[in-house]
Each structure stands twice: as structure tokens, then as C-alpha cells.
Amino acid sequence: MSTPEEDIRPVVTVTLNPAIDQTITVEALRPGHVHRASAVRRNAGGKGVNVASCLADWGTPVVATGLLGSGNAAAFEALFAAKGIADRFVRLPGETRVNVKIADLAAADTTDLNLPGLTADTDALDRVRRTLRELVLPGTPVLLAGSLPDGLPADSYATLTADLRAQGARVVLDSSGPPLAAALAAPDLPFCIKPNRHELEAWAGAPLPAPADLLEAARGLHRSGVAVVVVSLGADGALFVADGPALHARLPAVNALSTVGAGDAMVAGLIAAFGADAPLDGVARLSVAFATAKLGCFGPNLPGADAVRALAGQVELSTL
């Protein structure tokens, strides 16, 4: 007979276009001027990798897969070893891209410079599909996250979602632009999506300036068949739409050491709450707490579980 621990299925994260995030901290960013950096950090990243890292900090078993350049895989391998994340990435010749992030302390903001990376093809995607067939059982939570590398068609996430739905997986999608649009136009929809305001506006093809506009767009996606729609609003928290009343959740402003990866931490909180079969208010509390807790850490990391739970208890919820 299996033990409760054996019944826990690891979360699977899929990152097709990971990156090494190089964060450079300056006192105040002034375009056209010479700056002296106060700190430089390099972290293995990409949306799915960041989510896997936060989930591992929470104590959730995680398997990470996707496409990784063999030329500079050491940073990722060190992260996976340090956090106990199972590494099932498909290696490709070449190097994973490097993203330069300039953290402006005066403005409490970050400027991103995303460099080009690997070029993939349908054979590389098929290798990931075969890996997922080995990993996924009915009920497995699977995250599809981030942009697509050059060479992969825009419907790659739609293809993976159809595969995973056929295997009985619960799919969370966090992407934007054409890959998100293709996935939302496909017959097999993900269980949950988490666009931010700008990504939702890009999908809608129109500005959504008022909270009511965002809410109606999210409700439209829910009516189309996406079970849970979460719209992240940065410092204003997030909207949560599922069956029943929609919710707005937020925490008071905190001093942020780094905003890099806060949205990914929110996705990790969503997945952790789904794994605990939390109701929508519990999903809102935990995901906003994850995002806020991450603001106090550099890189894709969370503080201790007690600190995260304390923040979850402070989340302000309102029914819309």
C-alpha cells in the first residue's frame, strides 16, 4: 500500500526558452550615462525554472523539463542540485540565452534586455513531448511557461496542451503574444492562465483601462472554458476569476529587493494552492503571498514557509 508521500505527484514545469538572468543593480538608471553597478547576480532562470525553484522552496516535489543549451548548462544544473529539482531537460547544442536585468534602486524598477538564444525545431519539441509522456500521469500538474525559442511554431503550447489533456494532466499556461493566442484558440484549453494587464490587452486587441474591462475580459476567457483566469496587476495585486464570484487580492506595498520573478512566484503559489485543493480565496491568498514574499529575495527564491503563510493571512480580499 502506498504512503501519502508516494501519492503526491511531482509538479512538472516546461520551459522551452530558459535564460540565465544577469541582474545588475544601480543606484539610478540614467540612459546615455556611465553607471557603476553596486551588485551583479547571475541566476538560472526562465519562467518555468523560476516557478520550479519557488515550489522547491515551498517543499513541493518538482520535475523540470524543456530545452537547454549544453554549452552553459552548469548554472541550471547547480540550481537543480541545490534545490532537489529533478532535471529532465532536453539538451541542444549551443548556449541558453542570457537576459540582462538592470535593477534601478531609485525608481524601484527593472529594465530588461533579453538577448537571442537557442534555435529549436519540431524534432526538439518532439523530444520534449516524449519526455512528458514518460513523466505525466492523470492528475499531474504541468506548467507551460515563457516564450518560445526561434524555430518553434506559435501553436507549440497548444500542441503540448492537447497532449497533456489527453494524459489527464492539469495544465497551467503562463505565456503571452502569439503562443498564448494560439493556445486560447485551440479546442483543448489549459486549466489556468495568468496573463498580466498588458498581456491580456494584447490578447484582446484593445486597451483595458478600467478594472471592469479587465474583469470582463477575464470572465470571457472563463466562459470559453478556462477554469481559472488570474490577471496579475503588479503592486495592485491580482484578479481571480473562476466559478462563483470573482476576487481581487492584494497586499500592502513592501520594500522590494528585486521584482524579477515576482509573477513567476505568483504562478508557483497558484500551483501550490491547486495541489492543496484550495478554494478560490485560498488560491488568491497563497499566490499573492508567494509573489510578495519573493520581493524580499534576490533570484527565484522564497523565504521560509512560516513567513509566506503569515503574508497569506494578511492578504486583503474583495469580491467583485
Query: What angle do the packed helices 177-185 and 197-204 form, to 10 degrees?
Result: 60
Question: What CATH code is carried by the domain that includes residue 278?
Answer: 3.40.1190.20
Is 140 contained in some domain?
Answer: yes
Is 28 contained in some domain?
Answer: no
Range(s) of the domain holding residue 129? 11-16+46-95+120-319
Given the residues 243, 264, 277, 306, the one annotated as active site: 264
pLDDT over 80 at 7, yes or no: no
Q: Which helix (H) or strand (E) holds 47?
A: helix 47-58
Is 247 contained in some domain?
Answer: yes
Q: What is the pLDDT of residues 298-318, one digit of tens each?
A: 778 999 999 999 999 999 999
Q: How many CA atoms lie within 13 A of 251 on its CB side?
A: 25
Q: What is the pLDDT of residues 233-284, one digit of tens each?
A: 988 999 999 999 999 999 877 766 767 678 999 999 999 999 999 999 999 9
Is 105 contained in some domain?
Answer: no
Number of domains in the chain: 1
Q: How far apart are the first and last CA of the chain?
A: 45
Is 5 contained in some domain?
Answer: no
Burial class (CB in 10 A: 0-12, 13-18, 19+), 187: exposed
Contacts of 237 (CB under 8 A, 6+ apart): 248, 249, 250, 251, 288, 316
**In whole angstroms, what is the distance from residue 5 CA to residue 24 CA?**
41
Query: What angle do the packed helices 280-294 and 305-314 form, to 10 degrees?
Result: 120
Q: Which helix (H) or strand (E) holds 13?
A: strand 11-15
pLDDT over 90 at 43, yes or no: no
Is 33 contained in some domain?
Answer: no
Is 27 contained in some domain?
Answer: no
| Residues above pLDDT 90, as percent of the chain | 84
Predicted TM-score of the model (pTM)? 0.91
Is 228 contained in some domain?
Answer: yes
Q: Are 45 and 263 in contact (CB under 8 A)?
A: no
pLDDT over 70 at 5, yes or no: no
Q: What is the pLDDT of residues 271-293, one digit of tens each?
A: 999 999 999 999 999 999 999 99
SS3 for 25? strand
- What does residue 42 show for φ and ψ, rounded to 5 degrees? -120, 125
**Is residue 264 annotated as a catalytic residue, yes or no?**
yes
Which ranges in 59-205 belong to alpha helices (H)? 74-83, 122-135, 156-166, 177-185, 197-204
Confidence of residue 164 (pLDDT cuts 50, 70, 90): very high
